[in-house]
Amino acid sequence: MKAHDIFQQLPESFAGDVFQFLYDNDKPAYRACVQVLSTRRKLRPIILERKSREERHLWMRNEITRKANEDASIEILQTWLLGAHKPMICQFLDTLKIPHNGHGLIDDLPPEPSEAAVNEAVEGLLKDYPQEAVAAYLNLFIEMDIAQWPTLEKMLASDSRLCLAPQTPAA
């Protein structure tokens, strides 16, 4: 699932929380996001700044779900995950014994660990962190060009806890 798809499937309120986190904790990233999205729509950023934060975040979410804004979607999700959910990322990497810099960044991604190890790591995240954050992180992780992890891909496709789209009951 691409980053813009992740935003499209996140509940509006959760997406609003992502933007609020950037607003509160990383003003340069927040301003850059507003600038990029408004410029691409041929709007002046001041127009967005005059809106209430709730209206602005709703507009930003709608814009970030466009395929043309994939680069901005990736940047926002990465900034949010590494800022708001660094312990979750580190826990995942530590459980899988993947070396990282202590902040969740890795130099080289090894081949996929055993199915049991991946299951253990994912279950640990689901136990300790919000389901939407776990699903967003794992979907973004698997989209990395270097990630070839069929077990994780299968889990993302089949485990309803890792699916961001609302599930409709079978008839």
Query: For 49-104, what is each residue's pLDDT tens digit?
Result: 899 999 999 999 999 999 999 999 999 999 999 999 999 999 999 999 999 999 88
90 close to 102: Cβ distance less than 8 angstroms: yes
Same domain for 90 and 60, yes or no, is: no
Domain end call among 82, 110, 129: 82
Q: What is the pTM of this model?
A: 0.87
- Whether residue 171 lies inside any domain: the answer is no
* 118-142 burial: b if 16+ Cβ within 10 Å, else e: beebbebbbeebeebbbbbbbbbbb
pLDDT of residue 169: 42
The yes-or-no verdict on residue 167 having pLDDT over 50 is: no
Same domain for 106 and 118, yes or no, is: yes
- How many domains, the chain? 2
Closest by CA to 141, choosing from 120, 165, 162, is 162
Domain end call among 82, 102, 135: 82
Same domain for 101 and 59, yes or no, is: no
> Which value, in Å, is the radius of gyration of the alpha carbons in the chain?
17
Return the structure tokens found at 104: 């969740």
pLDDT of residue 77: 95
- Whether residue 168 lies inside any domain: the answer is no
Return the structure tokens found at 94: 């530590």
- Whether residue 169 lies inside any domain: the answer is no
pLDDT in tens, 102-151: 988 888 888 899 999 999 999 999 999 999 999 999 999 998 867 689 99
